[in-house]
């Protein structure tokens, strides 16, 4: 396998194991964890920008339009990170995994609604199936799976915003975390003065893990950004299910979260939808490549006699 595939597998495996990391910080309030994740991520990212001598290029790209786009992106990723960490530490890892299973299909639907993209007929089937699965879970449990839907919508909208974003992955994430750096740092200072801060008050290991939140955030994102440039988008789409699968297995097998027959039915509808969606994409890509291969020889002009 080429380097891009290994980088993608590594990034998704990293994200799949994320619940273990946040569970070690279960005693720390989710909003403080978000604050440390943003602050230390920005410190690390700005260090990378400076080390690569890209500061001038980064500063030159900060137009008013760019700042507006990334302000929205920062708010969306902030909501996503907060709900995910809260969900993991509140014992809802399985529900968080459902959000990331739903996300690819929701992103396609957002493309249709917002960008007026057109779906192939068979692509509507998995979207409908996923909707049925979520509706079934809502009816059975008498409540909307809001953790799953907030994660799916926030990340789906984040991806939609990033489609119009002008910066590369490194500069974009640096700006996003930079936008929230000030408010998050101010919040952490306030809770510290109020005697509610966890940092430097819960032991060496939690302190190191809070600082390390920046590292575990940035490394898989940079791995993914590199992988996405080296392998086909179809393959990226298939490999992305490694992360929620890992989270799901951790929730059920390691942390003992409930997975009832009703949940199995709802999840199965979503899994079947993803299987159809992935298979259709692979088949369409294969058909397109085969058609191009047949057409290309006819476009080569015959030599003159």
Query: CA-to-CA distance for 54 and 46, rounded, in angstroms?
Result: 10
Q: What tens digit of pLDDT does each residue of 127-175 get? A: 888 889 888 888 887 888 899 999 999 988 888 888 778 888 889 999 9
pLDDT tens-place string over residues 82-96: 999 999 999 999 999
Residue 295 lies in a domain: no
Q: Would residue 290 count as lying in a domain?
A: no
301 inside domain? no
Cα pseudo-dihedral 117, 119, 124, 125, rounded to 10: -140
Look at residue 298 in the predicted model and tell me its pLDDT.
Answer: 54
Between CA 159 and CA 70 the distance in angstroms is 12
Which H, E and C letters describe the chain, residue by residue? CCHHHHHHHHHHHHHHCHHHHHHCCCCCCHHHHHHHHHHHHHHHHHHHHHHCCCHHHHHHCCCHHHHHHHHHHHHHHHHHHHHHHHHHHCCCHHHHHHHHHHHHHHHHHHHHHHHCCCCCHHHHHHHHHHHHHHHHHHHHHCCCCHHHHHHHHHHHHHHHHHCCCCCCHHHHHHHHHHHHHHHHHHHHHHHHHCCCCCCCCCCHHHHHHHHHHHHHHHHHHHHHHHHHCCCCHHHHHHHCCHHHHHHHHHHHHHCCCCCCHHHHHHHHHHHHHHHHHHHHHHHHHHHHHHHHHHHHHHHCCCCCC
- Domains in the chain, number: 1
Output the pLDDT for position 163: 78
pLDDT of 200 above 80:
yes
d(CA 162, CA 168): 10
Specify the pTM. 0.85
In a domain, 289, yes or no: no
pLDDT at 13 over 80: yes
Q: What pLDDT is stored for residue 294 in this prediction?
A: 73
Token code pair at residue 248: 């799901």
Q: Report yes or no on 294 lying in a domain.
A: no
pLDDT of the residue at 183: 95
CA–CA dist 238, 275 (Å, integer): 9
Determine, yes or no, domain membership for 304.
Answer: no
The answer to the question of residue 300 being in a domain is no
Q: Is 188 exposed, middle or buried (0-12, 13-18, 19+ CB in 10 A)?
A: buried
In the prediction, which pLDDT does 161 show? 86
What pLDDT sits at residue 22?
A: 94
Specify if 183 maps to a domain: yes
Per the structure, the complete domain to which residue 225 belongs is given by: 3-284
Q: Which residue has 């190191």 as its token pair?
A: 208
């Amino acid at each position: 396998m080429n380097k891009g595939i290994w980088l993608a597998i590594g990034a998704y495996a990293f994200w799949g194991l994320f619940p273990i990391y946040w569970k070690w910080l279960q005693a720390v309030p989710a909003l403080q964890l978000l604050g440390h994740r943003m602050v230390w991520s920005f410190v690390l990212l700005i260090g990378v920008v400076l080390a690569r001598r890209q500061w001038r290029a980064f500063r030159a790209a900060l137009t008013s339009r760019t700042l507006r786009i990334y302000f929205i992106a920062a708010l969306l990723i902030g909501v996503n990170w907060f709900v995910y960490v809260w969900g993991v530490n509140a014992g809802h890892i399985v529900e968080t995994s459902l959000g990331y299973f739903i996300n690819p299909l929701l992103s396609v639907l957002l493309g249709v609604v917002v960008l007026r993209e057109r779906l192939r007929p068979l692509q509507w089937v998995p979207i409908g199936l996923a909707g049925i699965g979520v509706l079934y879970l809502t009816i059975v449990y008498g409540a909307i799976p809001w953790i799953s839907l907030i994660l799916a919508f926030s990340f789906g909208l984040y991806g939609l915003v990033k489609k119009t974003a002008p910066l590369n992955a490194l500069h974009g994430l640096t700006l996003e975390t930079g936008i929230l750096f000030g408010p998050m740092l101010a919040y952490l200072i306030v809770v510290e003065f109020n005697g509610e801060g966890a940092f430097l008050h819960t032991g060496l290991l939690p302190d190191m893990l809070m600082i390390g939140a920046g590292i575990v955030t940035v490394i898989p994102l940079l791995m993914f950004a590199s992988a996405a440039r080296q392998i086909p988008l179809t393959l990226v789409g298939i490999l992305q299910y490694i992360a929620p699968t890992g989270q799901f297995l951790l929730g059920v097998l390691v942390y003992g979260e409930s997975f009832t027959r009703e949940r199995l039915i709802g999840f199965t509808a979503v899994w079947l939808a993803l299987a159809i969606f992935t298979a259709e994409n692979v088949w369409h890509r294969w058909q397109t490549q085969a058609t191009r291969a047949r057409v290309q020889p006819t476009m080569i002009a015959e030599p003159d006699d």
